[in-house]
Copies of this chain bind each other. A is one copy, B any other.
Amino acid sequence: MTQYLLSRPHTLISLTAFAERYQSAKSSISEDLAIIKEVFEEEGIGDLQTLAGAAGGVKYMPKMRESVALDIMKEICRELEQPDRVLPGGYLYMTDMLGQPELLADVGRMFATAFADRKIDVIMTVETKGIPLAYATAACLNIPVVIVRRDNKVTEGSAVSINYVSGSTKRIQTMSLARRALKEQSRVLIIDDFMKAGGTIQGMMDLLFEFKATVAGVGVFVESGEVELEERLLEDYVSLAKLTAVDMKSKQSTVIPGNYFKA
């Protein structure tokens, strides 16, 4: 049963389904669930929500305790501070880290915890580096992902394109999303790997407006603090880490846990 629940996060499973699957009485299933709930809470891996009534059942919501998250994030920050990660333009090389399944699972769980109470239909990101973070979060929340492309590929059918100005580089860029990729009125969680002024995320918001969709939340892995306040396009977002200083000459950078840990 533990395995069954863990592999189906944010999915309502009726007691009847469990009773049939394990050929047990509902009463003993209930008792087992109570034990599992206790263990999940003790280990800090998530909540087991019980809904009463005919349409009721039990739902596993993966979470991560804030103290555990902070410890993991401090380690990630140390790794991000490695001098060979500093790149021209105040960027950090982190593609290798975004390729590690374990780190992604941890970060996905943090985002899932941060946005657990929001009503979200779909997660949106823009290619390329935000994609693994979006999927890791989606796996915990059990909701689909749509990927905004920086070009418009033939294999997607008709698409909506918008131009946006990257806030930090001031360059005009294009992003597009297939018309059928997103239903109107969707509630969308935006996830991205790195945010400077927020131009890319603002672009995604403009695109959402074209689809009559609304923003349910914005989560970024690393935000850059190297931005003048008046340049910042976005106020309401969750960041897991914050790049507070980069010295291009010495290739030194300082990365601290993001605003998620101060809330």
Which A residues lie at the B interface, using CB under 8 A? 2-3, 6-7, 39-40, 43, 45, 87-89, 91-93, 95-96, 99-102, 104-105, 122, 127-128, 131-132, 135-136, 138-139, 142-147, 149, 153-157, 178, 180-181
Q: Is the pair B154, A105 in contact by a Cβ cutoff of 8 Å?
A: no
Q: Tell me which residues across on chain B come within 8 A of A100, comparing CB atoms.
A: 144
Q: Tell me which residues across on chain B come within 8 A of A39, comparing CB atoms.
A: 3
Assembly stoichiometry (copies) = 2
Q: Tell me which residues across on chain B come within 8 A of A157, comparing CB atoms.
A: 87, 93
Q: Tell me which residues across on chain B come within 8 A of A136, comparing CB atoms.
A: 135
Q: Tell me which residues across on chain B come within 8 A of A105, comparing CB atoms.
A: 7, 139
Contact of A154 among B89, B127, B138, B146 (CB under 8 A): B89
User: Taking the nearest CB of chain B, how far is it from the CB of A154, in angstroms?
Assistant: 6
Given contacts A3-B6, A157-B87, contact A135 B95 (CB under 8 A): no
Alpha-carbon distance between A208 and B119 when the two chains are bound, in angstroms: 43
Q: Is the pair B146, A99 in contact by a Cβ cutoff of 8 Å?
A: yes
Q: Is the pair A142, B3 in contact by a Cβ cutoff of 8 Å?
A: no
Q: Is the pair A89, B3 in contact by a Cβ cutoff of 8 Å?
A: no
Contact of A181 among B95, B139, B144, B178 (CB under 8 A): B95
Alpha-carbon distance between A146 and B6 when the two chains are bound, in angstroms: 27
Alpha-carbon distance between A70 and B105 when the two chains are bound, in angstroms: 28
Contact of A155 among B93, B104, B142, B180 (CB under 8 A): B93
User: Taking the nearest CB of chain B, how far is it from the CB of A220, in angstroms?
Assistant: 15
Q: Is the pair A87, B3 in contact by a Cβ cutoff of 8 Å?
A: no
Q: Is the pair B43, A87 in contact by a Cβ cutoff of 8 Å?
A: no
Alpha-carbon distance between A127 and B126 when the two chains are bound, in angstroms: 12
Q: Tell me which residues across on chain B come within 8 A of A40, comparing CB atoms.
A: 3
Alpha-carbon distance between A9 and B88 when the two chains are bound, in angstroms: 37
Q: Is the pair A3, B43 in contact by a Cβ cutoff of 8 Å?
A: yes
Q: Is the pair B87, A144 in contact by a Cβ cutoff of 8 Å?
A: no
Alpha-carbon distance between A138 and B45 when the two chains are bound, in angstroms: 21
